[in-house]
Amino acid sequence: MTRGTVVEEVAEQIAFAIASGRLRAGERLPSIRRLAGEYEINPSTVQLVLGQLRTAGFVETHHGVGAVVRDVEAYGGVETWRYLFRFSRRLPDLAVRILRDILETLRMFYGSVLDKIEADPGAHDPAPVRRAWRRLDMLARDEEATPADVHQGVLDVLRAGSMAVGGGVFLGVLNSLGPMLGEVPEVLDVVFDAPGVHVWWWDQLISAWEAGDMGPARQAIGLLDDWHAEVLGRLRAALDAQVG
């Protein structure tokens, strides 16, 4: 086993202890010497493990104190949540909560885009978004397309839409959230199991944009509440079945 693999495995074990609540926010981790003995690794490898956990937002280090568990709920960034998502099968509650937050974030983005378009209809060109939608439509018709394939197609539409209205911070967030979803097959299965639904929904938004009438687009966004509830319910059932 390579040193890098050992670092990954030990970091994931400690991160899981934090995510599951066995190690609580504000709690000090054992000393480097004790961690080395507990995980049967040398102290220099422990330093690498702590560095990885610090980068991912799970711990912070203080001179004379050592490594202290961070409150990942309050201070965790995208990388923290991406790391946490790996524990979906073992922590269904956490997985459902993260997916719910991601879906709600996307909904806020859709509303923001519609506001920008309505404020200055001629300033934003929907043509690149329509081209991305056509690729998604072709993909959805392919019987061999997987949920992961559809996921990438939807991400392409989202990126095109974000760039059309100026890109910015959301595009960077999207580029982090996209791979996060792709790491959990159960999430892909429940979100992208019906490609035609995504094709239809995006067509409603883009057609409204092209027509200059955001009313139908806002109606389509209003449908997300029920769809989100259905998706989260199915994810819960799928993960609970695995735990059981």
The residue with tokens 């709920």 is 73
Please give the radius of gyration of the chain, using alpha carbons only, rounded to the nearest integer: 21
What lies within 8 Å, CB to CB, of 126 at 6+ separation is 164, 206, 209, 210
pLDDT of 57 reads: 92
Residue with tokens 């086993």: 1
pLDDT of residue 243: 66
Looking at the DSSP bridge assignments, the partners of residue 119 are none
Spans in the chain with pLDDT lower than 70: 1-4, 243-244
Q: Are 25 and 69 in contact (CB under 8 A)?
A: yes
pLDDT at residue 89, as a whole number: 83
Q: Residue 149 burial by CB count (10 A; 0-12/13-18/19+): exposed, middle or buried?
A: middle
pLDDT value, residue 244:
58
110: left (phi over 0), alpha (psi -120 to 50) or beta: alpha
pTM for the full predicted model: 0.85
Per-residue confidence (pLDDT) for residue 27, from 0 to 100? 95
Q: What is the pLDDT of residue 223?
A: 96
Give the relative orientation of helices 43-55 and 32-39 as an angle to the nearest 10 degrees.
100
CA angle 137, 193, 180 (to 5 degrees): 95
